[in-house]
Chain A
Amino acid sequence: MMKPYDIAIIGGGVIGCSIARWVSKYRLKTILIEKHADVATETTKGNSAIIHAGYASSEGSLQSEMNVKGNPMFDQLQKEINFDFKRVGSFVVAFNDEDMKDLQKEQNQADKRNIPSEIITDIKRIKIMEPNIADNVKAVLYAPSAGIIWPFGLTIGLAENAYDNGVDLLFSSPVTEIQQKSNGFIIQAGQKQLNAKVIINAAGVYADEIARMVGADNFTITPRKGEYILMDRNAIPVNHILFPIPTPVSKGILVCPTIEGHTFIGPNSNAQNDKEDVSTTSAGLNEIIRGGRKLLPSIPLRKAIANFAGLRAVSDRDGDFIIEASEVENFINVAGICSPGLSSCLAIADLVTDIVKNHTTLSFGEKDSWNPIRFPQQRLKDMNEDTLAQAIKNRPEWGRVICRCETVTEAEIIDAIHRPIGATTLDMIKVRLRPRMGRCNGGFCTPKLLKILSRELDKLVTEIPKNDEGSEMVTDRTKFIENKPWKGETP
């Protein structure tokens, strides 16, 4: 039998990947187990992508503690593993006297937590900062340390860096059974059986089901769906994250720039039982359009390019995070990581590392060779004309644009396929480089991507999936054509 793992992390969302990267510093044999083909495929893929300033969560909650501690950690990590992140600042928008009271409350909370903030009542100044904001704005609470992030870049960066530092990654392997033995756990993950001394449960909306496998489920998780509409670049300039006055269950429907220059409206917040249902609904889309228009009346809906939804994993402990060593020895729950989980992920990784140190017998010797730096792949968007010209000369694929909306070249796609967590699906290429994420929804590049994947992986085009098994994009060849991998030069 294989040497047991010291740590098995279940779940490759931003939480699991942060933890994996954090524990990769130590001489521990670690594996991250994910049921889908890639990291960041569930909640981490469908959210507002905001690194919150940290004044909003209720006083005394773990959410607030983690958010306040986590927010400043992003600058250092950005230098180390390189992802798109920018502190654009957020506005909470007040329209009347009632709202003003809430603004004041939020600011008091910000002051208490040492978070920089300012209530701006000078309408002229607000309009200069945010020209398209609703005319009936009365004041805003401005929090400059709030930022926007590319969650895929962050999560993939964390996972790649963990991998570079020796963490094993296991994809397309759902955990279906865990047995507790005297010396650790036996985990059934897809076709594989693994032994691990310590389990960290970071399975998102499924964290309660994973915990139930060992009887560590003194909580339940209820998904709360949030729907979004994404608008094209230049659809309407939005400079800051625009929040309405929050409701008791959510931060409300916002209007927000993305780090890639798009604008989105959403999310709403509706509880459901189904953990798989990330569908959007007519009612939901109408709800967010109404909500968004309150902040920004001129939202150009005809510039919409996509709608999507994500599920918040809400715990039955007042909706707060559950980050603790469970009653089952060596089994640690990191559950109920709803919003602001993204903002908190680094602080959570720190806390979980401490919990493992204090509650298990694993020895935490540091690796001499640990390398915090991860180099992302070279991108066209970061090149100037001279470097590009030279790159094309060395490698013609740099001169062939495959995605017309986001201007992505064949060289970048080939590189993404052959990197450590190499892209094997259309979605993996999409979240790394953005083809199929732009205004044409992949109309132009899809056939080309299928052919490139087929050639590089020596697979049939009919075997190339969108994401998981069963999501193959084309079903067959047309009549009388033989099915074999594509081997051409110009896709």
Chain B
Amino acid sequence: MSEIIDTDIAIIGGGPAGLAAALNASKRGARVAIIERDFELGGILQQCIHNGFGLTYFKEELTGPEYAQRFMDLLKETNVQIFLDSMVIDLSADKIITAMNPERGILKIHAKAVILAMGCRERTRGAINVPGMRPAGIYTAGTAQRLINMEGYMPGKRVVILGSGDIGLIMARRLVLEGAKVLVVAEVLPYCSGLVRNFVQCLQDYDIPLYLSHTITDIKGKERVKSVIISKVDENWMPIKGTEKVYECDTVLFSVGLIPENEISLKAGIKLDITNGPTVNEYLETTVPGIFACGNVLQVHDLVDWVTLEAERAGENAYAYSTNTSRGGKLLEPILTVPGENVGYIVPQRIDYLQDSKIVQFSFRPKSPDKNCIIEFVSNEKVFDKRKAKHIIPSEMLIYKIKLNPEEIGEKITINIKKNLKKSKEEA
């Protein structure tokens, strides 16, 4: 009783990742279908009405909706099939997607290749176990962003924000512009985790204090939030007694990180990494052949421009897969990438093909901020490439294209971020 749809490439999610992947694959001649649960394309960008998007990709400063619109306009000139208001509820390892749509019922989309582009969800108060009461007025920053920018409703009037990620900073300013009072932004880390420009333009310009090494230790109120208590924390993030400050407010926003949304991927038996995203090879292919991943579902990106570039690669690779293009001989055992000193994770997690030397793009994040660093790429206990980085910070993803030479590469590739001692001494 379900409708069967046949396509070359099916893309789950119509955010910037899904759009760029679709355009790239369609340009090469593939039949492409995008399945999106919202009633419009564009993903999270539709609610990011501030500017700062596209500086790398378009060399222009656009708002989120403007950035998305460019791709949506290009899509109109293709014959990419678009299913809106369609929630994907299942994906099988043989690449059959099940989706629900009010007009068309149950859709079964059979594809030669699938691209995962479902984005991420926000980490919640529950996930970080903030104690206290559970009244109305507790939101994630992204939900507040949707309420204000898309639905036109104010979540509250006096606001405390936990977490100095970019969404939290942007929302602090947005709330002030809409007439709310933002009392404080508290951050458990000893540094601001959002971009410097957002700290300056969203907090400093509006005299909103940022308390570093602080967290919420209690939320009070029965029906609606009445107050929160913010305490200083020690190196282990444990609240220090005697440092409690009370803030009377009616709203608390949590901006405490994003989690790639991979419940659908798990249904296909795809293996996930510590990123919460699928583990992929250098083709952005998951552990299930022919299923690729890009954008925030693979790893949380700070800039949408990198999402677009990554998604274009996924589109290209999925097209090649759907046309049975050879990648050369597959390695008997994959070469694993290993996060070394001060590295949190690495994408791709493995290299599956290395007959001749080739260039592979690595993206990864440092665990803690540092200055004057050397980034080493190590295999067979030898540094086969290295790069300098002046400032590193966990909130800014590092991306490098590195040449891999079969002669130099052993079973593993380790990436270390080390201090450039010479440089540091010079500066001192």
Contact, CB under 8 Å: A404 / B87: yes
Q: Is A272 an interface residue (CB 8 A)?
A: no
Q: Which listed residue (A230, A234, A477) contacts B153, Cβ 8 A?
A: A477
Given A401-B89, A476-B154, decide whether A307 and B129 contact each other with a Cβ distance below 8 A: yes
B84 (CB) vs chain A CBs: closest residue: A490
Contact, CB under 8 Å: B157 / A475: yes
Q: Is B151 an interface residue (CB 8 A)?
A: yes
Contact, CB under 8 Å: B100 / A447: no
Contact, CB under 8 Å: A396 / B103: yes
Contact, CB under 8 Å: B102 / A475: no
Q: Is A276 an interface residue (CB 8 A)?
A: yes
Contact, CB under 8 Å: A279 / B132: yes
How far is B132's CA from A462's CA once the two chains are assembled, in angstroms?
25
Interface hit among B134-142, B369-377, B393-401: B134-142
Contact, CB under 8 Å: A478 / B154: yes
B 403-419 binary contact with A (CB < 8 Å = 1; else 0) = 00000000000000000
Q: Is B313 an interface residue (CB 8 A)?
A: no
Contact, CB under 8 Å: A441 / B153: no
Residues of B147-170 contacting chain A, CB below 8 A: 147-148, 150-157
Interfacial chain A residues near B219, Cβ < 8 Å:
279
Interface hit among A125-133, A191-199, A361-369, A386-394: A386-394
Q: Is A124 an interface residue (CB 8 A)?
A: no
Interfacial chain A residues near B140, Cβ < 8 Å:
441, 443
B231 (CB) vs chain A CBs: closest residue: A282
How far is B21's CA from A315's CA once the two chains are assembled, in angstroms?
64
Given A280-B132, A392-B102, A475-B156, decide whether A447 and B125 contact each other with a Cβ distance below 8 A: no
Q: Which listed residue (A443, A469, A471, A472) contacts B121, Cβ 8 A?
A: A443
Contact, CB under 8 Å: A440 / B124: yes
Q: Is A229 an interface residue (CB 8 A)?
A: yes
How far is B121's CA from A444's CA once the two chains are assembled, in angstroms?
8
Contact, CB under 8 Å: B131 / A478: no
Q: Is A457 an interface residue (CB 8 A)?
A: no
Contact, CB under 8 Å: B223 / A399: no
Residues of B206-230 contacting chain A, CB below 8 A: 217-220, 222-224
Interfacial chain B residues near A409, Cβ < 8 Å:
100
Residues of B99-128 contacting chain A, CB below 8 A: 100-106, 121-122, 124-128
Residues of A411-465 contacting chain B, CB below 8 A: 439-444, 446-447, 450-451, 461-462, 465
How far is B220's CA from A407's CA once the two chains are assembled, in angstroms?
31
Q: Is A112 an interface residue (CB 8 A)?
A: no
Which of B85, B124, B220 has its CB near the most chain A CB atoms (within 10 A)?
B124
Contact, CB under 8 Å: B127 / A389: no
Contact, CB under 8 Å: A470 / B1: no
How far is B156's CA from A471's CA once the two chains are assembled, in angstroms?
11
A445 (CB) vs chain B CBs: closest residue: B143
Q: Is A11 an interface residue (CB 8 A)?
A: no
Interfacial chain A residues near B289, Cβ < 8 Å:
none
Contact, CB under 8 Å: A479 / B142: no
Residues of B338-385 contacting chain A, CB below 8 A: none
Q: Which listed residue (B126, B132, B139, B179) contacts A305, Cβ 8 A?
A: B126
Cβ distance A299 to chain B, nearest Cβ, rounded Å? 12
How far is B266's CA from A359's CA once the two chains are assembled, in angstroms?
60
Contact, CB under 8 Å: A441 / B125: yes
Q: Is A148 an interface residue (CB 8 A)?
A: no
Q: Is B2 an interface residue (CB 8 A)?
A: yes
Cβ distance A389 to chain B, nearest Cβ, rounded Å? 4
Q: Is A236 an interface residue (CB 8 A)?
A: no
Given A280-B132, A400-B85, decide whether A440 and B122 contact each other with a Cβ distance below 8 A: yes
Contact, CB under 8 Å: B179 / A441: no
Interfacial chain A residues near B126, Cβ < 8 Å:
230, 304-307, 441
Given A304-B126, A392-B106, A404-B87, decide whether A475 and B142 contact each other with a Cβ distance below 8 A: no
Interfacial chain A residues near B156, Cβ < 8 Å:
474-475
Contact, CB under 8 Å: A476 / B153: yes
Which of A308, A409, A475, A481 has its CB near the most chain B CB atoms (within 10 A)?
A475
Q: Is B58 an interface residue (CB 8 A)?
A: no
Contact, CB under 8 Å: A471 / B223: yes
Residues of B77-103 contacting chain A, CB below 8 A: 85, 87, 89, 100-103
How far is B272's CA from A234's CA once the two chains are assembled, in angstroms?
14
Contact, CB under 8 Å: B136 / A466: yes
Cβ distance A127 to chain B, nearest Cβ, rounded Å? 25
A400 (CB) vs chain B CBs: closest residue: B102
Residues of B250-294 contacting chain A, CB below 8 A: 250, 263, 266
Binding site for A on B (CB under 8 A): 1-2, 37, 39, 85, 87, 89, 100-106, 121-122, 124-129, 131-137, 139-140, 142-143, 146-148, 150-157, 178-179, 217-220, 222-224, 239, 250, 263, 266
Can you show 23 pairs from A to B with CB atoms below 8 A apart?
A280-B132, A282-B217, A304-B127, A305-B127, A388-B100, A389-B2, A392-B101, A399-B105, A401-B87, A440-B122, A441-B125, A443-B143, A447-B150, A451-B151, A461-B153, A466-B135, A467-B223, A469-B223, A470-B223, A475-B155, A478-B148, A478-B153, A479-B178
Cβ-closest 10 pairs across A and B: A396-B102, A470-B223, A389-B1, A399-B102, A306-B126, A466-B136, A471-B223, A401-B87, A441-B124, A474-B153
Given contacts A393-B105, A399-B100, A409-B100, 4 further A-B contacts (CB under 8 A): A282-B239, A389-B106, A439-B127, A478-B153
